[in-house]
Structures are given as C-alpha cells and as structure tokens.
C-alpha cells in the first residue's frame, strides 16, 4: 500500500474523521502495516488488546466462540476500523479476527493514538463527544432490550401457572 491509499482508507473511518489530512498523514506514516495470508488469525478471542486495525485491502471476519460453537459477527472490508476500544483502554479481545483472503491492514497502537490526541486536543474533544453520544444511545438500546426480556419473562411465568 502507498501512503496515499492508506490515507484514503483512514479517511473512511468515522472515528478518525475529526483529524485533518495532515494529521492523518502523520498517523498513516506511524502505523504499522500488517499483511495476512488467507486463513490467518490476526488475534484470538481473549487476547490482550493494545491496538486497533484498519483494513486497507481484503476482508476479515470476526468470530465469537461460545464453547465449541463459533458464530460470525460480521465480515468487514477496506476502510473498516476494528478493535477500536483498545485505543482507549486496556482490553481483552471479545472476538477472533481471521483473514478471508490476503489482507492488508494498518495497526494503530494505543500509545500512538494517545500521542496524536495529546498533540491535537480539539480532536480529542470531538472524539470524546462522539463516544458520549454513542454511550447514551447504547444505554437506551440496552434499556429497550431489558424491557423486552422482562416482558418475555413475565409471559413465560404466566404460561407456567
């Protein structure tokens, strides 16, 4: 990949949209390129996470394992950022990521991302605001799920009588 094509992929990432082209250029040069052949795991569910990845070419599948049952969380292509929470704090990978074909990615280490935010506090403020909005939406959505589950429990309890 070239710096120009890496920049194009970074521009597609909503989390990174607050950065200027110059700031994204700095990020793209500092990112570590990762190349994976088909069938290779980038990381496994339960691994420590200190980086996020942007797919620049190819496709990755995220899988969730529950015992011996594997469930696909989704298939993602160029311009997708995954592992985003690892940019903000130490985390455990909730899924595994496997290359569906030859894949090219950019690895963004948490330490690099923090340095970029320290150098550009205005971007950090925008990211914080966007994550706060997302947190409120997630909390609201979880409340709706909890209410639906409570109704199901009530209905099931009435049926057992």
Q: Choose from 12-21, 104-113, 131-140 the range with maximum mean pLDDT.
A: 104-113
Task: Please say if the pLDDT value at position 127 is more than 90.
Answer: no
pLDDT in tens, 83-113: 999 999 888 999 999 999 999 999 999 999 9
Residue 134: predicted pLDDT: 77
User: How confident is the model over 44-52, as a mean pLDDT?
Assistant: 94
Which CATH number is 95's domain given?
Answer: 2.60.120.10
Query: Could you tell me if 81 and 144 lie in one domain?
Result: no
Here the tokens at position 25 are: 């250029």
Query: Could you tell me if 88 and 131 lie in one domain?
Result: no
Query: Could you tell me if 63 and 139 lie in one domain?
Result: no
SS3 label, residue 89: coil
Query: Could you tell me if 85 and 148 lie in one domain?
Result: no
Query: Could you tell me if 83 and 135 lie in one domain?
Result: no
pLDDT in tens, 55-64: 999 999 999 9
Number of domain units in the chain? 2
SS3 label, residue 76: strand
51-57 sheet: strands from edge to edge? 32-36, 103-109, 51-57, 81-82
**To which residue do tokens 């947190």 refer?**
135
Query: Could you tell me if 17 and 64 lie in one domain?
Result: yes
Residue 2: predicted pLDDT: 60
Q: Would the pTM count as exceeding 0.85?
A: no
Q: How many CB atoms lie within 10 A of CB 124?
A: 16
Domain, as residue range, for 72: 3-119
**To which residue do tokens 């194009």 refer?**
8
Residues in contact with 153: Cβ distance below 8 Å, sequence separation at least 6, in sequence order: none
Instruction: Identify the DSSP state of 58.
Output: S
Tell me if 116 sits within 8 A of 11, measured CB to CB. no
């Amino acid at each position: 990949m070239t710096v120009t094509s890496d920049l194009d992929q970074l521009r597609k990432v909503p989390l990174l949209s607050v950065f200027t082209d110059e700031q994204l250029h700095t990020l793209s040069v500092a990112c570590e390129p990762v190349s994976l052949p088909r069938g290779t795991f980038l990381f496994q569910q339960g691994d420590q996470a200190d980086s996020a990845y942007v797919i620049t070419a190819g496709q990755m599948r995220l899988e969730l394992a529950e015992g011996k049952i594997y469930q696909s969380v989704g298939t993602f292509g160029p311009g997708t950022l995954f592992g985003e929470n690892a940019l903000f704090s130490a985390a455990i990978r909730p899924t595994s990521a496997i290359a569906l074909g030859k894949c090219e990615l950019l690895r963004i280490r948490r330490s690099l991302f923090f340095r970029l935010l320290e150098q550009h506090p205005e971007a950090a403020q925008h990211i914080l605001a966007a994550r706060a909005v997302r947190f409120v939406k997630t909390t609201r959505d979880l409340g709706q799920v909890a209410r639906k589950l409570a109704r199901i429990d009530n209905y099931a309890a009435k049926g057992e009588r």
